[in-house]
Each structure stands twice: as C-alpha cells, then as structure tokens.
C-alpha cells in the first residue's frame, strides 16, 4: 500500500477541469447570493421608499422569494464547495490523534484515511440519492414564494458528496494528487 505510481497527466487534467466547473458553480452561486441580497435590501430600503415618496408605485421591483432563491443558490454553492475544499486541501481534519501512529507510517495512514473516506462518502452519496429520488417521486414543490421542484435543489447534496468521493478515490490511487493542508475558517 505504500508504493504508488504517479498520476497520469490526463487524470490531473480531468480533475482540474472538474474542479474548474465546480468553482464556476460556486462562484455563480455565491456571486448570485450577493447580488440577490444586495438588490433586495437596496430595493426595499432605498428604491421603493424613494419612488413612493415622489408618487410612483414601485412594489413590482421587489424580488419575491429572494431569500429562498439565495438559500437554494447557497445549497448548490455549499455542496459544490465540498469538492472544491477537498481538491485544494481545505477540508477541516481534526489532528488531535495524528500522533497516535508513528510519523514513519504517515503515507500509509493517509492512504488508509483516503480509502475510508472514499467508501464512506460513496455510502453517503447513495443515501442522499435515495432521498432525492423519493423527493422527485413525491413531486414536492418548494415553499417561500418560489415554485421550484425541491429535488432540483436537493440534487446538490448527492452530487457534492459524489464529487468529493471521486477526489478521495483519486488520492487513494495516486497519492501525489493529494493536496497539502489548506485553509481553515476562523
């Protein structure tokens, strides 16, 4: 388990493209949230009172269900982010028990860790897919002023976990793809 081949260039390229696609999804989602919330506040707190004061009816400018749309975007941005955080090494990994095994075993331990994570995330992907399939069959519509089929939003969950599982599988097969420790949130 300790010896490993370096990754074929095609694999890194393919994963890089997948990463870029996820970055775009997240960028659109987070940028979209910012635009929607800023628009919402501006229109409600500034534009409408101003236009009303000078005699214009401006209630149609309100984006109904704006918070809900922003939350749906957050869902896609957040779960696209699992893959992004995995690829750039920004997943939070508690290091409290890292010294439980000798340092010489580090590479081996990392591969065992990647194997366990891969299997676990595949399991989560399956459970999440069942959940989305049930939601699809029930035809449930979102509440909060946005008439969207809920499964379209929920789909972000299995896709995000599957993407992360794929990354960990790649790290398991080609450890040179494994990122160094990344950022954290404080």
Partner 1 sequence: MNALILVSLVAALLVLRQPLLVILLAAIAYAQIAWGSGHLTWIIEDMFVSLDKELILAIPMFMLCGGVMTQGTTAKRLTDVARALVGHLPGGLGVAGIVSSAIFAAISGSSIVTMLAIGAVLYPAMQEAGYSKRFALGTVVSGGTLGIIIPPSIPLILYGLVTETSIVDLFRAGVGPGLLLVGLFALYSVWANRSMPRQSFSWPALMVAIKNGFWSLMMPVILLGGIYSGFFSPTEAAAVALLYAVIIEMFVHRELVFVDLKGVVFDAAKLGGALFPLIAVALSLNLILIENRVPDLMLGFVEGWITSPITFIIVVNLFLLAIGAFMTTAEAILILGPLLAPLAVSFGFDKIVFGIIMIVNLEIGLLTPPVGLNLIVAMSAFREKFGLLVRAAVPFILLMILALGLISFIPEISLFFVR
Binding site for partner 1 (CB under 8 A): 23, 26-27, 29-31, 33-34, 37-38, 40-42, 45, 67, 70-71, 74-75, 77-85, 88, 90-98, 100-101, 109-110, 112-113, 116-117, 120-121, 124, 127-128, 130-131, 134, 153-154, 157, 160, 182-186
Which residue, 8 or 27, is less far from partner 1 as judged by CB? 27
Q: How far apart are CA 176 and CA 113, in angstroms?
A: 15
Which residue, 58 or 122, is less far from partner 1 as judged by CB? 122
Q: How far apart are CA 148 and CA 114, in angstroms?
A: 37
Minimum Å gap between C-beta 8 and partner 1 is 26
Minimum Å gap between C-beta 138 and partner 1 is 12
| Residue 63 in tokens | 């984006």
Which residue, 14 or 127, is less far from partner 1 as judged by CB? 127
Minimum Å gap between C-beta 186 and partner 1 is 4
Which residue, 117 or 162, is less far from partner 1 as judged by CB? 117
Which residue, 8 or 106, is less far from partner 1 as judged by CB? 106
Minimum Å gap between C-beta 30 and partner 1 is 5
Helix axes 9-42, 66-87, angle to 10 degrees: 150
Nearest to 166 by CA among 17, 31, 40, 49: 17
Question: Torsion angle of alpha carbons 39, 40, 42, 43, nearest 10°?
Answer: 100
Minimum Å gap between C-beta 70 and partner 1 is 5
7: DSSP letter: P
Number of H helices and E strands in the chain, helices first, is 6, 0
Q: How far apart are CA 44 and CA 184, in angstroms?
A: 35
């Amino acid at each position: 388990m300790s010896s490993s081949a370096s990754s074929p260039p095609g694999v890194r390229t393919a994963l890089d493209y997948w990463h870029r696609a996820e970055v775009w999804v997240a960028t659109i989602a987070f940028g979209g949230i910012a635009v929607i919330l800023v628009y919402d506040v501006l229109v409600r707190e500034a534009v409408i009172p101003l236009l009303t004061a000078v005699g214009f009816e401006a209630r149609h400018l309100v984006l109904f269900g704006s918070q809900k749309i922003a939350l749906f975007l957050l869902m896609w941005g957040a779960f696209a982010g699992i893959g992004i955080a995995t690829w750039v090494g920004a997943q939070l990994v508690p290091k409290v028990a890292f010294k439980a095994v000798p340092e010489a075993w580090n590479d081996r331990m990392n591969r065992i860790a990647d194997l366990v994570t891969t299997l676990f995330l595949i399991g989560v992907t399956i459970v999440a897919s069942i959940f989305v399939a049930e939601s699809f069959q029930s035809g449930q519509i979102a509440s909060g002023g946005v008439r969207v089929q809920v499964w379209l939003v929920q789909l972000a969950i299995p896709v995000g976990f599957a993407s992360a599982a794929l990354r960990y599988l790649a790290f398991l097969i080609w450890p040179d793809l494994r990122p160094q420790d990344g950022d954290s949130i404080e």
